[in-house]
Each structure stands twice: as structure tokens, then as C-alpha cells.
Chains A and B, each alone.
Chain A
């Protein structure tokens, strides 16, 4: 059974720092991995989607990498801003046909001005 773990559970950094959020998964047979952002009381916003054949994806100040063999993904945020404060979730989709995602418990990020 696929399990997804995110470390750290919470992170507080000063504005301007570069930071890395980690996601690990137990079954390397994945179809894709998706990173989301969730603001308090809101839904999830898709940030980056990495297919199993890809190594990384970039969008603006965000870069996500995928290493299937080691069961790891990282989300790199460059030059963090207070507006980046949110919970960041990673989710993996397995190789079956259900399209179901298994979510990690998230990393709560606070960027201090």
C-alpha cells in the first residue's frame, strides 16, 4: 500500500530564503506526482505535475524534482515571500486505472517578513 510522507511538518523561514520541501513515497511504481498549495480553509491549487518519465518541472520560482528509484520528490522555492505562506502537499498517482491520488500530510510553511 502506497504511503506518502512529507518532512518537515512545519517550517518557518525569513523572507528571501531559498527552501526545500521533501516528499517520500514507499512504492516507486507511480504514474505521476503532483505538488499542491493549500491556503487555510481553501481548496488545493495545483503547482506542478511531474510525470513518472520526467526528472523535474519548473514554474516561476518553483522547481520540483522526482527520483522514482529512491521514492523521493523535492519542491524548491527560491527567494521565498510572505505570500508563499501556506500548506504544501504532495500526492502520487499509482499505475492503476483509478486516477486516485495518495496525499502526504503536508508541510506548513510560514515566511516571515
Chain B
């Protein structure tokens, strides 16, 4: 199963932009990169998915460089409610979550 690596934890102040990078050095040619958000005692929920370049939706932006060995999730102007664990996932046929990245938004 393909695994990704992310930093463990990061703090940010309200209103700032938060960028979380994920490494996926062995990503397969056909694999998408998907990001999820998880609040305590809830299941992860889908945020955004991309294959390459930049994808944007109402929640976040996702940038994937040409070599696709990493991706960066960008959360614009975070609020306290964005405090959560964020997971990146490579592949659409396999499912292997790492430990994710704990983002804590500080007032």
C-alpha cells in the first residue's frame, strides 16, 4: 500500500494562510492525490483532489508540482473551526493513511 509522509503538527493564528505539504515520492502514474480533514471523534471528510498543477474549490487549494512527488494543501484565512488533522492520500485504488498533520488554529 502506498504511504505518504507529512509533518506531524503545526500551529497557526486565525486569519493566516496555512500550507501543508505532503511527500509521495513513489506515486504511480495514474494516482490522484486526495486530502481529507478529520475532527476529533469524527470520520475524515474529503476536502480536495487533484492530479497535477493547481486545483481550487471553496474550501482549499491544492498545488501539485510537475514531478508529482509532493503536494501542498493551502487553507486560506483559517479560523478556529479549521483546527483538525489533515491527511493526504495517494492513489484511488489503495487506501493507506499516514498519521496526518495536526493543525491547531490559535485565536
Q: Are these two chains actual partners, yes or no?
A: no
Query: Residues on A close to B: CB < 8 A?
Result: none
